[in-house]
Amino acid sequence: MSSGRTVTEVLMAASRAAASKNKKRKTPDDDDGGGGATTTTTKTPNSNHLVMMNQPSNSNDSKPKEKETTPPSSLTINDKISSLRKKPIEFKPNSAAFWKDGEPVPFLFLARALDLIASERGRIAMTDIQCNVFRTIMATTPEDLIAAVYLSVPAIAPSHEGVELGIGEAALIKVLAEAYGGNEEHIKNQNKGLGDLGLVAKASRSSQRLLFKPSPLTIVRVLDTFRIIAKETGKDSQEKKRNHIKGLLVAAIDCEPLYLIRLLQSKMRIGSSKQTVLEALGQASVYSEKHSNTPPLEEAAKIIKQVYSVLPIYDKIVSTLLHDGIWKLPEKCTFTLGMPVRPMLAKPAIGVTEILDKFQDTEFTCEYKYDGVRAQVHYMDDGSVEIYSRNAERYTGKFPDVVNSVSRCKKPFVRSFVLDCEVVAYDHENQKILSFQMLSTRSRKGVILSDIKVQVCIFAFDILYINGQPLFQEQLKIRREHLYNSFEELPGTFQFAKGITSNDLGELHKFLETAVNNSCEGLIIKTLIRDATYEPSKRSLNWLKLKKDYMDSTGDSLDLVPIAAFHGCGKRTGVYGAFLLACYDEQNEEYQSICKMGTFNHRNSCCLEGTTENMLEELSARLRDQVIAKPKPYYQYGGAKNPDVWFEPSEVWEVKPAGLSISPVYRAAGGAVDPIKGISLRFPRFLRVREDKAPDEATTSEQVAEMYRSQKINHANNQENEEDD
């Protein structure tokens, strides 16, 4: 487009226009002349309640003004915000609004709502509050709903657009000092004490007084400013970014500085997640309709999550919800070439016998499980290519060689396609697969072909779209025929995943050994005809993974989040001596402790295998930047020995244990297999950092319980580890 606007901006503008058209309402005069009034907040005497007050506007202000909110002065903001705690079935959407219909939604409304969510621990209560927030906006200013969703996630654009704010902690400390007249060193010390730069901002703002009141912040202004910040490049860009942030901080009141800083850091620290936001959005849409019976909330949540897995664009989803309702989403929001789809995933299997039992009387195939990066490659009609990771991150700039390879290997009749494949480090000279660690040395973006030192090979195993035809509903056997007919293999550059179709026990054992000898992790087993459609984002029993360690107790590694650490001593002084790791509970949206993993050999606490001193220092340095003052309310760590430091949930580590045991100390899957106790890992070994996973994509407590049950079935002599530390 000649305007240079992104798809996100165009969709957002269209949503605002359509929402305004669909809901006729009286709007305040847009005239910027004198005689208007700005709304500010103040505290009543002897009270912590904020009340609304009107002040004359500054007619000499040269900056364009937004439509201003003029709420009734008789009600406190606290009274209105508190109503968000009500059960959605009892909530009246207009009861929480302290602005008039059609006026921009104040950022204070969202910030105070986030404070409410932060005070809750239960997933249902969090979802209810978020649902009521969205319902309030839908009832008053629906065109602002997109901005509210983005800030709640938090994000400023769809993940595949790769838009980043580019603001580090040092820059935020500097801008806080400039905005609130403080000293940078003092702010650094406060940050060390509080462990949250957002809390520092809130405290700094409360101690500062302004000569005049700036216009109140709105959620649209905040999001728009963030997007402007992300676009600043070139000379003096950092100074320009700080000035934009300063403008927001100076105008911020109450808890707004807290959430402005957290949003800028992409660390909300409230325990909510993207799944909560999606579920709440679906419920809000249901409650906006009239129902004679119980609202179908579970079905709505299922629909919106499924739609997001196929089209992860909030703008399109919100726009459709406002215009057509939740039930039209699957029809209106379908797969779009160039937009990433959440990949289908496999469940772990313990052994070949288990596979034969599960797939009895079913035709299935076994493929090598390559140890690389899962990639989704989109080839457009105009010849352009986009590559996405498993969590929809744009990888096109990371793999320019992949862009070249798929273009060379497609057959002439192929105009467009979407491939599901694994990109693997490859030694072209010796024609062999290299380790994942070799591939992880490559930069995340901006890679130049001539600078590439580690070559790659694409191993394609599925095709989701060909020449304008989506293939999600086709059986795997049909999809593979399309794949094989549409591409030519080029050894060492583009190959089909190696596989066999057999139900012979001995042959499968031999194929597994061959896969391991060829530097693969193991096998992926898939049904070919029955229940063999492609299900985005689903971890399906129709896909099973069998890793080379299948004869061990667990049969699979776990992806865990480091939530705390213990200081090292002696040789390990200066780095952490052990880490407290956690799995993720999707139902309660909390992290549950599962083991302590040491950085040196110790009973039940093995070293970070494969790490050098430098790597250990790098891990420790990264996590030192994530230290917080106290554990999150959504950390479940039970009676585990108190760690020396706690971390923000920031990264995922792949860990391989010798087995799982019932534990009176750790809280993973508590109550799932034992009425009181949780599950822990025996002798966990660090394998690698999973850069392609977000913390809330870690191994779930449900998966941990499944792994324990499978282990118990396959190892009847499993006993509780009574000496678990």
Q: Write the DSSP assignment of 481-495 as a string of letters.
A: HHHHHHB--BTTTEE
DSSP structural state of residue 714 = H
Please say which residue of 506, 523, 547 terminates a domain: 547
The verdict on residue 36 lying in a domain is no
User: Does 468 lie in the same domain as 509?
Assistant: yes
Tens of pLDDT, residue by residue over 587-644, are: 887 899 999 998 754 443 445 554 566 777 888 888 988 888 888 878 999 766 789 9
Of 25-29, 577-581, 715-719, which range is least confident?
Answer: 25-29
* Residue 711 pLDDT grade (very low, low, confident, very high; cuts 50, 70, 90): confident
Domain CATH for 444: 3.30.470.30
Same domain, residue pair 635 and 663: yes
In 252-342, which ranges are continuous DSSP H helix? 256-265, 274-287, 297-310, 314-324, 329-332
For residue 535, the cross-strand partners are: none
Which tokens go with 500?
Answer: 């066999």
Between 28-37, 240-249, 287-296, 308-317, the lowest mean confidence (pLDDT) is in 28-37
Which of the listed residues 244, 265, 286 is the one where a domain comes to its end?
265
Dist. CA 383–CA 452, nearest whole Å: 23
Would residue 54 count as lying in a domain? no
Residue 424's contacts (CB-CB under 8 Å, 6 or more residues apart) are: 370, 371, 372, 373, 433, 434, 439, 456, 457, 458, 459
As a whole number of angstroms, the distance between CA 521 and CA 518 comes to 9
pTM of structure: 0.77
For 257, how many CA atoms within 13 A lie in the half-sphere containing its CB? 27
More confident residue, 569 or 276: 276
Residue 509 and residue 519: Cα distance in Å, rounded? 16
Q: Across the chain, what does the average pLDDT equal?
A: 84
Residue owning tokens 């004869």? 551
pLDDT (average), residues 330-338:
95
Q: Rounded to 5 degrees, what are φ and ψ at 279? A: -60, -45
The reply to whether omega before 154 is within 30° of 0 (cis) is yes
The one-letter amino acid at 148: A
Place of tokens 């990771």: 389
Structural domain harbouring 317? 1-25+86-154+268-334
Are 502 and 366 within 8 A, CB to CB?
Answer: yes
Q: How far apart are CA 176 and CA 257, in angstroms?
A: 10
Question: ∠267-151-311 over CA atoms, to 5°?
Answer: 105
Q: What is the CA radius of gyration of the chain?
A: 27
pLDDT digits (tens, 9 = 90+) for 136-168: 999 999 999 999 999 999 999 998 998 989 888
The per-residue pLDDT for range 550-574, each reduced to its tens digit, is 544 556 789 999 999 998 775 556 6
Rounded distance, CA 606 to CA 625, Å? 25
List pLDDT tens digits, range 521-537: 999 999 999 999 999 99
What is the CA 92 to chain-centroid distance, rounded? 31
* Own/partner pairs, 5-13, CB within 8 angstroms, 24+ separation: 6/157, 6/161, 7/158, 7/161, 7/313, 7/315, 8/157, 8/158, 8/161, 8/313, 8/315, 9/227, 11/146, 11/313, 11/315, 11/316, 11/319, 12/146, 12/147, 12/315
**How many domains does the chain contain in total?**
4
Same-domain pairing of 197 and 259? yes
Which tokens is 229 given?
Answer: 């910040």
Highest mean pLDDT of the ranges 242-256, 574-588, 654-668: 242-256
What per-residue confidence (pLDDT) applies to 141? 98
pLDDT above 50: residue 65? no
307: β partners:
none
Question: What are the helix (H) ranges across 549-648?
Answer: 613-624
**CATH code, domain with 322:** 1.10.3260.10
- Amino acid found at 335: F
241 noted as active-site residue: no
Residue 162 lies in a domain: no
pLDDT at 69 over 80: no
Concatenating the DSSP letter of every residue in 64-128 gives PPPP-----TTSBHHHHHHGGGS-TTT--GGGG--S-TTSPPBHHHHHHHHHHHHT--SHHHHHH
Are 326 and 351 contained in the same domain?
Answer: no
What's the pLDDT at 77? 86
Residue closest to 459 by CA, chosen among 518, 503, 542:
518
Q: Can you tell me the distance from the alpha carbon of 439 to that of 457, in angstroms, rounded to the nearest whole number?
A: 11
Q: Is residue 46 part of a domain?
A: no
Write out pLDDT tens, residues 456-509: 999 999 999 999 999 999 999 999 999 999 999 999 999 999 999 988 888 888
Last residue of a domain, one of 232, 248, 265: 265
- Say yes or no: 449 and 414 in one domain: yes
Whether residue 641 lies inside any domain: the answer is yes
pLDDT in tens, 341-375: 999 999 888 777 788 888 888 889 999 999 999 99
The identity of residue 485, as a single letter, is N
pLDDT tens column, 675-705: 889 999 988 988 889 988 889 899 999 999 9
Task: Report pLDDT for 343.
Answer: 96
C-alpha distances in angstroms, 275 versus 124, 126, 295, 308, 550?
12, 11, 19, 10, 32
- Across the range 249-260, mean pLDDT stands at 95
Q: Check whether residue 308 and residue 450 sit in a common domain.
A: no
Q: How confident is the model at residue 15 (pLDDT cuts 50, 70, 90)?
A: low
Contact yes or no for 179/214 (Cβ under 8 A): no
In a domain, 55, yes or no: no
Higher pLDDT among residues 301 and 550, named by residue: 301
Quick one: which of 315, 4, 300 has its CA closest to 153? Answer: 315
Task: Return the H-helix or E-strand segment holding 516.
Answer: helix 505-517
Please give the angle made by the CA atoms of 716, 721 and 722, to the nearest 5 degrees: 130
Q: What is the pLDDT of residue 641?
A: 73
Instruction: Please indicate, yes or no, whether residues 451 and 352 belong to a single structural domain of this protein.
Output: yes
pLDDT confidence bin for 549, thresholds 50/70/90: low
Closest CA to 441 of 453, 451, 458, 459: 453
Note whether 259 and 275 are same-domain residues. Answer: no
Residue 600: predicted pLDDT: 54
pLDDT at residue 32 above 60? no
Residues 497 and 591 in one domain: no
Catalytic residue among 100, 241, 316, 369: 369
Check whether residue 531 and residue 567 sit in a common domain: no
Statement to judge: residues 380 and 413 lie in one domain: yes
Question: What is the rounded distance in angstroms from the CA atom of residue 561 to the CA atom of residue 669?
Answer: 15
Instruction: Reply yes or no on whether the pLDDT at 62 is more than 60.
Output: no
Q: Are residues 302 and 362 both part of a single domain?
A: no
If you average pLDDT over residues 287-312, what whole number do you get? 87
Give the model's confidence band at 173: pLDDT under 50 very low, under 70 low, under 90 confident, else very high. Answer: very high
pLDDT-derived band at 36 (thresholds 50, 70, 90) equals very low
591 vs 668: CA distance, rounded Å: 8
pLDDT of 195 above 90: no
